[in-house]
Structure 1
Amino acid sequence: MNSIEDLIELLSLERIGDTTFIGQNYQAPWGRVFGGQVLAQSLHAAYQTVPDNKIAHSMHAYFILGGDLSIPITYEVENIRDGGSFATRRVVAKQNGKAIFNMAASFQVKEEGVDHQISIPNVITPKKLLNSLDQLEEMEQIDPYTYKFIQLTHPKIFDFKPVERLSALLTKNGPPFNHMWMRSATPITASLPLQHQLLAYMSDYNILTTASLPHREQLRADKTFYASIDHAIWFHRDFNIADWLLYTMDSPSASNARGFSRGSIFNRQGTLIASVAQEGLMRKMK
């Protein structure tokens, strides 16, 4: 994909029934369907079945099987409940009749209530940072494999600016904390439901890496298989994905070949707009 418009087209599923949709695949260079794509497409499918006055506030997903890039994905939406304030949907993604992913999402009408949030971390502003690809150049000699992999997989449609230097973060063991500024590479005007879908897509970048940070030397020395197992997002407040957002991530635990990470996403003004949690597989290959 070369532009945010390409991503929006990818997320705009074909409706083939009242609650059934078909989506195409981003041809991910690592050979499996990208988890962020399925998160975003499933949320798009669910949004098509709820009233316009209800907005997603949370989604919880499980990745069941690796997706085949050559096969379109069918999304089947089940209407669990429509209430006065909330609506609940379940989405199952299938290829060749087999479930590869499922997701539950909850939607709510806008309501007034009490308001509080945690504070944004005090980190370097994006204006003073190099983007990922510029930082990557100094890794070519230090870690050629990681250098080539990130060059190949880095999405052109987003700007990423790591707060921590990639050359140290990805090559040496360190604490399980990671901060990343991110935004769409070009300005867009999008509805809040579409903003949610784009953020769901973006939220799958960098978070599993956070769980690997205390073990980079060991995992780099061994061939390691990474894959998302489950992923949850809570949407707290409105935002604009074309403005800089700070994705602050930490990993409380890694065990049994799984790494668990959490994320808080803030806008430039320090408003907490979303929270994320993910567990992923980090399995050493024999």
Structure 2
Amino acid sequence: MNTAAPTTYGEMMFLEQHGPDTYVGVSPEYLWGRIYGGQVIAQGLWAAFGTVDEEFALHSVHAYFIRGGTLDEPVRYEVDRLRNGRSFCTRAVVARQSGGAILNLSCSFHVAEQDAEVQTARMPLAPSPDDCRDSDDERWPWIMERRRLHSYPGSGQSMGWVRITDPIDDDARLHICGLAFTSDAIQFDAARSLHPLQVPPGQYQASFMGASLDHAMWFHRPLRADEWHLYQFDCHGLTSARGMTVGNLFATDGRHIATIAQEVLLRERKPKG
């Protein structure tokens, strides 16, 4: 397969099939030196989509990040067809590299039904994306763009805008995977704002070891991942170097698109000696 590092969302989402229900993908060159977790979720979902009929739409995903992935080798996605039903079907996906599994993902698909449509989640007031640009060193100059609002110490909250930068065609499955890609980069500020140790953003890496531990998403309504979505997260507390975050994603017209829950590792680095 072509192992050149992808530079666009479309290139990243190309998976090469390696036998029944097995797919292989490659990673962009992330500046921090390891694979971004949202990429592995997005590629794992795309592999799962390859095993279900198009009438089934993804409604939930649950994932455990097992270890950090390395950029110098492809990722192998092995799909297990756990259940095929008339209305629902379930898949499990394990993402592997030579060092072992890096992600364990389960996802459920549902055939759309005509029934009650009620939304109670309300989009919070927020400045437009054009009014809350991040500095150049905070932005993702490829594939994804995020524009964060400041999280005040003690607030336990984070909010901002996120989108895939490249236009995506009308394949709804690619848009769901795109939103999943963006969803692993927006929770940490809520947890960091609660920590007793408050440091400038440039000192986060020196002061904390951070990682995503597990991740769940529920998809409620159609979406376009190449359009802006507002995220709002609350941290429900810190314990044993873990922070529990829960949040919502809204389209610009106020539609509640998805709910996300993620536990993050926020371990303070202790001085050696």
Same fold (TM over 0.5): yes
| Residue 177 of structure 1, CA deviation | 1.2
| Cα distance change of structure 1 residues 121 and 77 upon mapping to structure 2, 3 Å threshold | same
Contact 1:184–1:242, Cα closer than 8 Å, also in 2 = yes
Tell me which moved more, 215-224 or 47-56. 215-224
Q: 1:159 corresponds to which residue?
A: 145
Alignment of 1:224-243 (within 5 A): 224-243=208-227
Q: 1:255 corresponds to which residue?
A: 239
| Cα distance change of structure 1 residues 216 and 202 upon mapping to structure 2, 3 Å threshold | farther
Tell me which moved more, 185-194 or 79-88. 185-194
Give the secondary-structure state (helix, strand or coil) at the position aligned to 1:214: coil
Unaligned stretches of 5+ residues in structure 1: 137-147
Alignment of 1:77-156 (within 5 A): 77-96=79-98, 98-126=100-128, 129-133=131-135, 150=138, 154-156=140-142
Give the secondary-structure state (helix, strand or coil) at the position aligned to 2:169: coil
One of 73, 76, 79 as aligned partner of 1:74: 76
Q: Distance in 2 between matches of 1:102 and 1:195?
A: 21
Contact 2:7–2:142, Cα closer than 8 Å, also in 1 = no
| Residue 188 of structure 1, CA deviation | 3.3
Give the secondary-structure state (helix, strand or coil) at the position aligned to 2:224: coil
Q: Distance in 2 between matches of 1:127 and 1:279?
A: 26
One of 5, 8, 11 as aligned partner of 1:9: 11
Contact 1:253–1:259, Cα closer than 8 Å, also in 2 = yes
How big is each residue's C-alpha offset from its partner over 1:141-196, in whole Å with a ceiling of 9 and x where there is no partner? Answer: xxxxxxx5x36xx343333333x34xxx3xx6230111112223354323110001
Contact 2:176–2:223, Cα closer than 8 Å, also in 1 = no
Give the secondary-structure state (helix, strand or coil) at the position aligned to 2:225: coil
Give the secondary-structure state (helix, strand or coil) at the position aligned to 1:67: coil
How big is each residue's C-alpha offset from its partner over 1:16-74, in whole Å with a ceiling of 9 and x where there is no partner? Answer: 11210111012211121110010101000000001111011000000111111112111
Q: Distance in 1 between matches of 2:164 and 2:96?
A: 29
Give the secondary-structure state (helix, strand or coil) at the position aligned to 2:101: strand
| Residue 216 of structure 1, CA deviation | 7.0
Query: What is the TM-score when the length of structure 2 is the normalising length?
Result: 0.88
| Residue 9 of structure 1, CA deviation | 1.3
Pairwise CA RMSD of aligned residues? Answer: 2.1
Q: 1:201 corresponds to which residue?
A: 181
Which structure shows the higher helix fraction?
Answer: 1
| Cα distance change of structure 1 residues 5 and 271 upon mapping to structure 2, 3 Å threshold | farther
Q: 1:223 corresponds to which residue?
A: 207
Q: 2:3 corresponds to which residue?
A: none
Contact 1:178–1:250, Cα closer than 8 Å, also in 2 = yes
AA aligned opposite 2:193: L
How big is each residue's C-alpha offset from its partner over 1:106-146, in whole Å with a ceiling of 9 and x where there is no partner? Answer: 0011111222222323313416613112xx7xxxxxxxxxx
Count of matched residue pairs: 261
Query: What is the TM-score when the length of structure 1 is the normalising length?
Result: 0.84
AA aligned opposite 1:232: A
Identity of aligned residues (%): 36
| Cα distance change of structure 1 residues 188 and 51 upon mapping to structure 2, 3 Å threshold | closer
Give the secondary-structure state (helix, strand or coil) at the position aligned to 1:132: coil
How big is each residue's C-alpha offset from its partner over 1:245-284, in whole Å with a ceiling of 9 and x where there is no partner? Answer: 1111111111100011112011111111111111011112
